[in-house]
Amino acid sequence: MYADLATAQGCRWYAMERSLRYAIRTLWDKQSEYCSKLLYRSCELMPKPGIAEFLYLYAEAYHDGVIQEWVNEIMTKAG
């Protein structure tokens, strides 16, 4: 997976892995409540997942419509 993503972005696989780890860590550090609710469907603060688990949780939440519901809620509040 890293190789395919890296090729598409014009970088090496280890740069892609590092970028994904950094993005997930930054997201989790800044929005852990939302991440726990969206991905784990939990009101408790959950620990930051690794890359594979994050991608799985995100894909599952996206498939179930949870991500879209969250986006729609934000858009409604923004007016």
Rounded CA-CA distance 13/31 in Å is 27
Left if phi > 0, otherwise alpha if psi is -120 to 50, otherwise beta: which for 44?
A: beta
Q: How far apart are CA 9 and CA 29, in angstroms?
A: 25
Predicted TM-score (pTM) of this structure: 0.81
User: What confidence tens digit (pLDDT) does each residue in 23-76 have?
Assistant: 999 999 999 999 999 999 999 999 999 999 999 999 999 999 999 998 899 899
pLDDT number for residue 68:
93
Residue-level pLDDT at 47 = 95
